[in-house]
Amino acid sequence: MNTSAEEIMNFMPSLFNRFPELTEEIGWVSLRGAAEPATPSRLVKSQHLFGENYVYFKQENLDFHILPENSAKKLEFILGSPEYDNVKKLIASGPAGDFHCLAVAKAAQELGKKCEIVLRHSRATTKQIQAIMAMMNLGAQVRMRETDRWFQFTMWWKNFQSRFFSQSIVPEGGASGEGVLGYVSAMAELEDQIRSGAIPEPDYLVVPVLTGTSLVGFEVGKRLLGLPRIRIQGIATRCESQSLRPEMAELAADALDILNGVLPASKGISLTEQDFFVDFSVNDLKPLSEDVQRWLVRFFELEQCEMDMEITGRALYGMNRWIEKKNIKGQKILFWSISCPFRSGDLGEFQGYEKIPGKLKKWIRKEQASGRLYDIGRI
């Protein structure tokens, strides 16, 4: 944890730079390195893939000394809230190989806390299996649950235990009012870059939607900072995202409750389900078809950027379909990647499947038999 005043200023979220009065009222812990936020880059080589538009790509920094920037954005506010001050153990949950869970494990190690991870069955890739092993290597206790019912019961039990033991459950995917603040801060970061001339003000800000936390943060930030011309569009990457609008309205209310006690400017902001625009055009792409994979491979060849196929790649292709469906032309479109794919080096040296722990091997075999696990090789 960074403690000196000079060091804290280097790591300060953009939201605090914009509203200094928040620094004394909102808890925060530094979980990223002293570096300038990544500037969106213009997709010149692949522009023809997106029609007659000017597309910019925001790839968050992956080289912070503790966490990738996307994870840090949410966790620095979540783990800075009072309920996590004195707890000895952090509990996180998510789908198999979830990088947010891995981020919690790394944050727990940095903050000197124990960590327990509960993973539910999900489609997974080789890199996600590596992520599970990395959680173990970081000292996290990993529990793998093969059915939704078993997973839900485990989380209920962990929540019950939290009443009596020094432990707290980190919201899945960072979906909480504090997590939203991370992307309110991201909008402040974008405002800084627009004002400095690093990027023109976009007509559209397109963001992948998993829990909806990022989309909510951008919408709250847009109103708080007075950026009405930017239209924010979500691209859902999971089928359940269709039912997220009520939850997104609740997340917005939770974030505004935190801000309203400090910022008069936030008190006039109100968001309903109808204020969140999400396109579901990629929900039917499970698994990714050969046509989609070819499109993504072509994009990677042109731009040479690192991203994950299941979240960023799926949403990027979904944006392409959304542009075609809406017949959007001549617009400045900023795609903001929200995934946090740890660099391969952050996952530790992977020495082959024979090194996978026996318990994880057994779980992998069952997942393969059910058809949920792919791109992993035979175990």
Q: Which segments within 96-140 are labelled E, that is strand?
A: 114-120
Per the CB < 8 A criterion, the answer to whether 212 and 183 are in contact is: no
Tell me, yes or no, whether 145 and 186 share the same domain.
no
Q: Are residues 143 and 280 in the same domain?
A: no
Residues 63 and 197 in one domain: yes
Residue 39 reports pLDDT greater than 50: yes
Higher-confidence residue of 349 and 291: namely 291
Q: 349 lies in a domain? A: no
Of 220, 228, 205, 223, nearest to 255 (Cα)?
A: 220
* pLDDT at 190 (0 to 100): 93
Alpha carbons 276 and 219: distance in angstroms, whole number: 8
Is the same domain home to 139 and 17? Answer: no
- For 146-156, how does the pLDDT look when each residue is reduced to its tens digit (9 = 90+)? 788 999 999 99
Handedness of CA 340, 92, 26, 250 (dihedral sign): positive
Shared domain for 55 and 84, answered yes or no, is no
Q: Look at the chain and report how many structural domains it folds into.
A: 2
Flag whether 74 is in a domain. no
Q: What percent of the chain has pLDDT over 90?
A: 34
What is the per-residue pLDDT for 377?
Answer: 53
Q: Which two tokens stand for residue 354?
A: 């024979």
> Do 156 and 211 belong together in one domain?
no
Q: What pLDDT was estimated at residue 7?
A: 44
Which are the contacts of 202, defined by CB distance < 8 A and separation ≥ 6?
56, 230, 332, 333, 334
Model pLDDT, residue 32: 73
Cα–Cα distance measured from residue 372 to residue 282, given in angstroms and rounded to the nearest whole number: 19
Range of 54-63, 130-139, 161-170, 259-268 with top mean pLDDT? 161-170
pLDDT value for 86: 87
Residues 6+ apart with CB under 8 A from 112: none
Please say if the pLDDT value at position 285 is more than 50.
Answer: yes
Q: Distance from first CA to last CA of the chain, Å, rounded?
A: 39
Exposed / middle / buried, residue 343 (Cβ in 10 Å: 0-12, 13-18, 19+)? exposed
CB 99 within 8 A of CB 172: no
Q: Name the token pair of 245.
A: 């609008």
- Indicate whether 59 and 121 sit together in one domain: no
CB atoms within 10 A of CB 304: 8
In the chain, what percentage of residues exceed pLDDT 70?
Answer: 81
Q: Which of 272, 201, 248, 258 is nearest to 19 (CA)?
A: 258
pLDDT, mean over the chain: 82
Which among 104, 97, 271 is positioned nearest to 174, based on CA atoms? 104
Neighbours of 35 (CB within 10 A): 13
Q: What is the pLDDT of residues 299-336, one digit of tens each?
A: 888 887 766 777 788 888 889 989 988 999 999 999 99
Q: What are phi and psi of 106, to 5 degrees?
A: -70, -40
In this predicted structure, what is the pLDDT of residue 104?
A: 93
| Higher per-residue confidence, 150 vs 291 | 150
- Whether the model clears a pTM of 0.95, i.e. scores above it, the answer is no
* Structural domain containing residue 84: 80-169+356-370
Strands 54-58 and 41-42: antiparallel
d(CA 190, CA 195): 9
CA distance 177 to 304: 35
pLDDT of residue 64 exceeding 50, the answer is no
Checking if the pLDDT of 348 tops 90, the result is: no
